[in-house]
């Protein structure tokens, strides 16, 4: 598993469904550089069980992300047409109707590969036939990308394990606090709590004496 933290987020341009119904092409991160944080999350499949709970949970908190200058983007290895169809199905029937943030299509699996969240690998068997070690869908990856396009946080869950949207908000708050206050965030920090000054000179002095 690659660690992308501290690196520029991998570029992509792909089809997406925006506003719950509109299919667009050429959707990329570049449109947000310089003015928005990006919460980019991957999920395994449309028309499944755990995935809609996550997509609805992000929708329920969408206004909170937006109030922090952040956009939420969902990605799976399904096509844009599959995303669109699922968006038309009511929530009480297992659908994601009401989700308004962009859902990106990664049907050629290049985005999942670039972010190293693809479950499985391609190979060639003993007879020379192309094979795959698994279903080749995305793990539940989440990446927080700052306004300069740099990855500042990543989390990858196995397929059965749903994520905490509140934790994604907490990490976004922590990044914004660090950027504005210049203080680091200790364990279990949350918005409204005090940070810590990173006194590297004091640490160096202490180490030189012990």
| Residues acting as catalytic residues | 51
Buried b (16+ CB within 10 A) or exposed e, 13-23: ebbbbeebeee
**In angstroms, rounded to a whole number, what is the distance separating the alpha carbons of residues 86 and 102?**
13
66 Cβ neighbours under 8 A, 6+ residues apart: none
Backbone angles phi, psi at 192, to 5 degrees: 100, -15
**In angstroms, rounded to a whole number, what is the distance separating the alpha carbons of residues 76 and 27?**
14
**In angstroms, rounded to a whole number, what is the distance separating the alpha carbons of residues 124 and 79?**
26
DSSP H stretches of helix in 1-153: 50-60, 62-66, 80-87, 110-114
């Amino acid at each position: 598993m690659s660690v992308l933290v501290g690196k520029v987020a991998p570029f992509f341009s792909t089809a997406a469904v925006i506003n719950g119904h509109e299919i667009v092409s050429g959707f990329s991160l570049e449109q947000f550089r310089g003015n928005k944080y990006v919460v980019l999350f991957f999920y395994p499949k449309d028309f499944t069980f755990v995935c809609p709970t996550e997509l609805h949970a992000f929708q329920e908190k969408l206004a909170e992300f937006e109030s922090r200058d952040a956009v939420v983007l969902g990605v799976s290895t399904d096509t844009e047409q599959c995303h669109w169809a699922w968006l038309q199905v009511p929530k009480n029937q297992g659908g994601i109707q009401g989700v308004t943030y962009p859902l990106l299509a990664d049907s050629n699996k290049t985005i999942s590969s670039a972010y190293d969240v693809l479950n499985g690998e391609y190979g060639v068997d003993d007879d020379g036939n192309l094979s795959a070690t698994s279903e080749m869908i995305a793990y539940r990856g989440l990446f927080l990308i700052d306004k300069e396009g740099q990855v500042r946080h990543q989390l990858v869950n196995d397929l059965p394990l749903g994520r905490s949207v509140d934790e994604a908000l907490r990490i976004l708050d922590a990044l914004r606090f660090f950027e504005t206050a210049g203080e680091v965030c200790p364990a279990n920090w949350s918005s409204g709590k005090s940070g810590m000054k990173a006194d590297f000179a004091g640490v160096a002095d202490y180490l030189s004496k012990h």
